[in-house]
Amino acid sequence: MSTMTPIFPGSTDAAGRPATLGVLGGGQLGRMFVHAAQRLGYFTAVLEPDAHSPAGLVSHHHIQTAYDDPTGLAQLADLCQAITTEFENVPADALRTLAQSRPVAPGAAVVAIAQDRREEKAHFTACADVSRVTCAPYAVLETPEQLRAVPADLLPGILKTARMGYDGKGQVRVKTTDELAAAWTELGGVACVLEKMLPLTAECSVLVARGWDGQVVSFAPQRNVHEGGILAVTHAYDGALPSALADRARAAAVAIARHLSYVGVLCVEFFVVDDGSEFGGLVVNEMAPRPHNSGHYTIDACDASQFDLQVHAMAGLPLPQPRQHSPAIMLNLLGDVWLNAGGQLREPDWAAVLRLPGTHLHLYGKVEARAGRKMGHLTITGPDVSSVRAVAQRAAEVLGLPGLDAI
């Protein structure tokens, strides 16, 4: 059972200060968390070194220090009644320090697992009996001896750095042992994981929220399309995935969260492979101990968003089972949308986009657009899937994005 005393909106601490929720990290996920917390009536505090961070600019308090700065962490703990993180690469030791005096969700131990692909895959393997899914065959590479001992049947594969890889960074596709050796050298000879490439037919993700008392709620799985390792489109509606597969993915994500004794919002990403394979159509890829880009559609298409559930979970509030009221497609908006064919900056035609029915534009407050940088997202909702797809296709054309059938 929970040892967490709920922190109710509008309450005050022992010194009479308003209930304040804190977040490590000032990016767009932190910004949307801050909006959700403030809508409920909480004060918010962000610890982030960037003076112009999206979350820091909209929070009641912005502590501008490094994530592991003792003075900054002490100030955050003094201001806040509970603390979360908006990205998985925040130092786990910082979360351990904060947890000595405040509830921290998710905890340092879980975040540390998500920070290291070796630990993450070991966890997926350990809970395979309850999750009923496993990860792709893999090998850990830390030494030249392990490199030479890689089984031939793991190739072709994808070599990934064990730590600090995201959005396609720190990854190299390899077909032969010579390419593998060259890729490991290219990545600096750091600890890596080599994953066998599987015959993928789709990718999907599941968002789960688990409370201090063990209560779990989840969103229906969404189908994701990536370009260059970065999420491009999320399809969130009935029929986006076969129902039996979606049920398996949802059950597996819940099992993984429970196995971790997780608290907060967790995203588990899966590969969908040919049904004739040994994996039964579903392979777990990785997890993110936070809200996720693929869940942004929940702000506009559900009665409770992933950020609402993040606030509820960390504050010890009841977790409502979210309901999706509209089919949705989300288009990720990278800095490329602001660049013309010659690489010069241009203003996207927002008037044409916002004229389309059911469009919900979210820009993250970043002042500089760069190729590959996440600048915002556009969610399209509507009464039925066909109308949502038609509007999403038109929006993609206006913004110069690939067509939905092209990616």
Domains of the chain in start order, with CATH, are 20-104 (3.40.50.20), 137-196 (3.30.1490.20), 200-399 (3.30.470.20)
Burial class (CB in 10 A: 0-12, 13-18, 19+), 227: middle
Angle at 108 between CA 231 and CA 111, to 5 degrees: 20
Residue 167: predicted pLDDT: 59
Q: Which segments of the chain have a pLDDT < 70? A: 1-3, 165-168, 275-279, 407
Rounded Cα distance, 291 and 280, in Å: 27
**From residue 52, how far is each of 28, 64, 90, 364, 370 by CA, in Å?**
12, 10, 18, 11, 16
Residue 405: predicted pLDDT: 77
Residue 278: predicted pLDDT: 60
Range 48-74 burial, b when 16+ CB lie within 10 A, else e: beeeebbbbbbbbbbbeeebebeebbe
Residue 168: predicted pLDDT: 60
Residue 165: predicted pLDDT: 65
Residue 121 among known ligand-binding residues: no
Residue 237: predicted pLDDT: 98
**pTM (predicted TM-score):** 0.94
Residue 224: predicted pLDDT: 97
Residue 14: predicted pLDDT: 83
Residue 162: predicted pLDDT: 93
Rounded Cα distance, 95 and 111, in Å: 9
Residue 117 among known ligand-binding residues: yes
Residue 78 among known ligand-binding residues: no
Residue 1 among known ligand-binding residues: no
**From residue 321, how far is each of 42, 70, 183, 217 by CA, in Å?**
22, 38, 45, 5
Range 102-130 burial, b when 16+ CB lie within 10 A, else e: bbbbbbbebbbbbbbbbebbebbeebbee
Residue 165 among known ligand-binding residues: yes
Upper half-sphere CA count for residue 337 (Cβ side, 13 Å) = 23
Residue 407: predicted pLDDT: 66
Residue 170 among known ligand-binding residues: yes
Rounded Cα distance, 282 and 242, in Å: 12
Q: Which residues contact 171 (CB under 8 A, 6 or more apart)?
A: 158, 159, 160, 161, 165, 229
Whose structure tokens read 């907060």? 264
* Helix 70-79 / helix 92-99 crossing angle, nearest 10 deg: 50
Do the Cβ atoms of 162 and 143 come closer than 8 Å?
no
DSSP string for 280-338? TTEEEEEEESS--GGGTTHHHHBSS-HHHHHHHHHHT-------B-S-EEEEEEEGGGG
Residue 366 among known ligand-binding residues: no
* Omega within 30 of 0 (cis) for the link into 327: no
Comparing CA positions, the residue from 157, 135, 32, 150 lying closest to residue 84 is 32
